[in-house]
Amino acid sequence: MVLSSLREYVMAYAATAGGSPPAMTAASGVLALQRALVWLAGASIAIVFIEPSPYELVTLLASMVFFATGLRMRLVFLPLLLLLFLLNLGYSISAVAVIDRPNVANWIATSWYLAVTVVFWAMVISEDTTARLDMLRRGLIVGALIAAVAGIAGYFDLVPGGRDLLTLYGRARGTFKDPNVLGAFLVLPALLALQSIVSDKFAKSLRSTITFGVLSLAILLAFSRAAWGLLILTSGFMLMLMVLTSRSQTQRVRIILVTAVAVVLAVALVVVLLSFESISEMFSQRASLDQSYDEGRFGRFGRHLLGAEMALDLPFGIGPLQFTRFFPEDTHNSYLNAFMSGGWLSGVCYPALIFATVLTGFRYAFVRVPWQRAYLAIFSAFLGTVGESFIIDTDHWRHFWLMLGTMWGLFAAAERWKAGVDPATSAPPRAT
């Protein structure tokens, strides 16, 4: 009964989101299905402790539905296609010599799959942009709440047997395999909730405050230093962009005042939480910059230097998942990993793809489009993850590639908007 009501609600909202013009009425059922699948993909991306994950199955289903009902490939996506192809070509060439080693074939297949999802999301978001982006936002928040509540419940042992399943080494991991990935994933939904807090009416702002509090608590209990820094820095960056792009002085003042109040409340909450001995001890341990795995010749940063020297001498790299044959741990640097896993070809194409997206992203941050607010949150989270990639391997994080594809879709949509074509309410005609 509950599932039936939820399905009816999602389909009803999906059919009307974004204000479809009369010309699209005949295809309202197709639009509703497409938008519902976008919502479902956003929600399912938070569940990755099983393989294949629900997100893989949903994106497979969504791709079949979208291609059957109309999806356009645009010229603006050709650089994206080329860089993704060359990146994975480099991985594949380097993998030939080690393809018989454990998990290498699966790693290559996953890389190609993620590349396909990038192009798919770019094409999806470039059409019917306002409605699809809103459905993606809603789905991400629902999925994030599920993952966050699971992590919190596991940490405080609120579910029988849940602590073993939902935590790792005393850190909340929720529906993820790794607490670090849980924390990083929750940042974008938290930014979307924060935007609502500083911009929307009281009732919606209050609901978003609760959402932001739950997500922030889960990030804290994941005890990921990178995720803590990511939330703080991206929140500040996004709010700065919101002030700079705000359309009125009143809105700017509200953003600044609400932000100041939120900071005070957040600090007070952290102080209260640190009064619990178990949380305080883990926080002190994780917050320390003096970690044994970061220091020394073969520590995190030592490996970066030694790996970079190796990369210069190895045009074809050493192959995927082979770094630990030479060093005690993985690269913990996505840019170095591209060189080691795919040689010079992947090593050049990966940063070219990422930083071309970043530079283009700054350009579109100040373009006045109907979805500008959501764009600022996605861009801020993406930029933060790009920075985090210097100290951790993010190259197979599904939400990172989702953000990348969404960014390119928003680039295309913004160009169409500036040209006088409204992608916010336009979608491909139903296939006949």
Kindly report, residue by residue over 192-220, the tens digit of the pLDDT: 999 999 999 989 999 999 999 999 999 99
Integer Rg of the chain from CA: 22
Segments in 322-388 forming alpha helices (H): 334-364, 372-388
Map residue 348 onto helix, strand or coil.
helix
Distance CA 402, CA 327 (A): 31
pLDDT at 237: 95
Which residues on adjacent β-strands are paired with residue 167? 172
* Cβ neighbour number for residue 373 with a 10 Å cutoff: 17
Average pLDDT, the chain: 86
Q: Which of 7-21, 79-93, 301-315, 321-335 is most confident?
A: 79-93
DSSP secondary-structure letter at 1? Answer: -
DSSP helix/strand/coil, 171: strand
> Cα-flanking dihedrals φ and ψ of residue 172, to 5°?
-65, 135
Q: How far apart are CA 132 and CA 124, in angstroms?
A: 8
- Domain borders along the chain are 2-18+25-283+314-418
Q: What are the pLDDT digits (tens) for 348-369?
A: 999 999 999 999 999 999 999 9
Q: Residue 424: pLDDT above 80?
A: no
Interhelix angle 334-364/300-313, nearest 10 degrees: 90
Least confident of 16-25, 115-124, 325-334, 406-415: 16-25
- Give, for 94, the enclosing helix (H) or strand (E): helix 78-95
- Give 431's pLDDT tier (boundaries 50, 70, 90): very low
Note whether 48 and 55 are within 8 A (CB).
yes
| Residue range 55-80: mean pLDDT, rounded | 92
Element (H, E) at 172: strand 171-172
Residue from 257, 254, 183, 198 nearest 376 by CA: 198
